[in-house]
């Protein structure tokens, strides 16, 4: 993916992530691969105030090249995924509530919807737990993601990868939808059993 227009597209994806309830305040982050490094949202900037200046360029060692502020504290996770997944051009990391609940309570998120099975297969894995912002979390997330398009980070949130920021965002929305459907179907099944 060429770098032309990418900062603007990352800002738009980050704002849309917040507007759609996938992240609050400055939680979560969005990035894209560029030649020799990545562009990633700055740490601690609420998305409604995010501008193109708040898209930080770093190399694959985390060294800042340009942009205002510091890169997201989860830059290591993005770098680790890009190192392992040459096909990944963009990453969206959300703290969406239903997917995060699944990342807290489950070992994997069962996919109970036919469209979801086409996108994600039979389940979305949950990574091993590791402290936020660490290389341990970065490796755990990349291990959990494997060759897939989505992973839930244990007790933390969700990550999706795509060919563009827009595709990664769309998949993040679908992860949250699949989590909502799972929790709703489980609730309805339990209610049905209670009424027998």
The DSSP line for 113-162 is SHHHHHHHTTEEEBPPP--TTSHHHHHHHHHHHTTSSEEEETTTEEEEEE
Catalytic residues: 74
In angstroms, the CA 153 to CA 181 distance is 19
- Residue 33, Cβ density class (10 Å: 0-12 exposed, 13-18 middle, ≥19 buried): buried
Q: What are the two backbone dihedrals, phi and then psi, of residue 124, each rounded to the nearest 5 degrees?
A: -110, 125
Other beta carbons within 10 Å of 159: 30
């Amino acid at each position: 993916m060429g770098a032309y227009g990418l900062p603007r597209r990352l800002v738009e994806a980050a704002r849309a992530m917040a507007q759609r309830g996938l992240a609050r305040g400055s939680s979560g982050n969005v990035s894209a691969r560029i030649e020799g490094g990545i562009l990633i949202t700055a740490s601690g900037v609420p998305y409604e105030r995010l501008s193109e200046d708040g898209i930080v360029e770093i190399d694959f060692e985390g060294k800042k090249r340009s942009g205002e502020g510091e890169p997201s504290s989860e830059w290591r996770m993005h770098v680790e995924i890009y190192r392992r997944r040459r096909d990944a051009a963009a990453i969206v990391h959300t703290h969406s509530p239903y997917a995060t609940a699944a990342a807290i309570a489950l070992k994997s998120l069962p996919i109970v919807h036919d469209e979801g099975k086409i996108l994600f297969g039979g389940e979305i894995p949950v990574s091993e737990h590791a402290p936020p912002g660490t290389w341990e979390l970065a490796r755990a997330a990349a291990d959990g993601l494997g060759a897939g398009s989505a992973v839930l980070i244990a007790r933390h949130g969700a990550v999706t990868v795509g060919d563009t920021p827009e595709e990664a965002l769309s998949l993040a929305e679908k992860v949250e939808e699949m989590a909502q459907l799972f929790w709703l179907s489980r609730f309805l099944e339990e209610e049905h059993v209670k009424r027998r």
